[in-house]
């Protein structure tokens, strides 16, 4: 027989040494992409709690009008939790099966097919809110100054573009005829 017959000592494995089983490490881990720039107020060093930084949008040198990357994704809830899926509509493929399924759920009338309608309908309307479509725009930026995360200074990253900033960029790219400015 074996000299040490303790069942927890198989090949020196002790489950209590693993951090998965410890109760002190129950904080949910953020699964954010390290190549996407985030400005979270909770990570701010300033007294007023505002995240201050200086960034520069880097335009596509070959086609300035295609500097903004658009992404469509779907959040689907199943027995295992939420799943995020990037749609092939992002690359211009209009035969995306996930989009067709979302469209079928989203545009079904409550009277026609209650079960299908209920999948995508918001909870406050009596639905289950299990199928959600999201749209985001990203741009390439260079971080010029960031006192909150100095390791990001001079890095090129992707940044999720807020609609207000997107509208400003569009206004610069499509000036009015009265301004007599041309976008190069």
Q: How many Cβ atoms are within 10 Å of 168's Cβ, its own excluded?
A: 11
Question: What is d(CA 94, CA 39) in angstroms, rounded to the nearest whole number?
Answer: 33
Question: What is d(CA 103, CA 87) in angstroms, rounded to the nearest whole number?
Answer: 13
In contact, 118 and 126? CB cutoff 8 Å: yes
- pLDDT tops 50 at residue 28: no
In contact, 55 and 142? CB cutoff 8 Å: yes
Q: How many Cβ atoms are within 10 Å of 18's Cβ, its own excluded?
A: 10
What pLDDT does 55 receive? 93
What pLDDT does 15 receive? 57
Which range of 9-18, 136-145, 160-169 scores highest in mean pLDDT? It is 136-145
Question: What is d(CA 91, CA 69) in angstroms, rounded to the nearest whole number?
Answer: 10
Domains located in the chain, CATH noted? 41-175 (3.90.198.10)
- pLDDT tops 80 at residue 74: yes
What pLDDT does 157 receive? 93
What pLDDT does 135 receive? 86
Q: Answer whether 0.85 is exceeded by the pTM.
A: no
- Count CA atoms closer than 13 A to 178's CA, side-chain side: 0
What pLDDT does 68 receive? 86
Q: What number is the average pLDDT over the span 113-133?
A: 77
Look up residue 97 and give its two tokens: 């099966």
């Amino acid at each position: 027989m074996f000299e040490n017959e303790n069942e927890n000592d198989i090949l020196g494995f002790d489950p209590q040494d693993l951090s998965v089983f410890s109760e002190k490490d129950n904080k949910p881990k953020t699964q954010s992409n390290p190549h996407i720039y985030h400005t979270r107020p909770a990570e701010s060093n300033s007294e007023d709690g505002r995240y201050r930084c200086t960034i520069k949008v880097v335009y596509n040198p070959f086609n300035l009008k295609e500097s903004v990357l658009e992404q469509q994704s779907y959040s689907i809830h199943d027995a295992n939790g939420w799943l995020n899926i990037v749609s092939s509509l992002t690359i211009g493929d209009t035969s995306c099966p996930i989009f067709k399924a979302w469209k079928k759920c989203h545009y079904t009338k409550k009277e026609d097919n209650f079960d299908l309608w209920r999948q995508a309908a918001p909870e406050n309307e009596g639905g289950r809110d299990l199928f959600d479509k999201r749209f985001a725009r990203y741009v390439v930026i260079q971080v010029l100054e960031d006192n909150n995360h100095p390791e990001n200074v001079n890095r090129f990253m992707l940044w999720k573009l807020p609609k207000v900033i997107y509208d400003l960029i569009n206004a610069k790219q499509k000036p009015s005829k009265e301004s007599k400015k041309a976008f190069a």
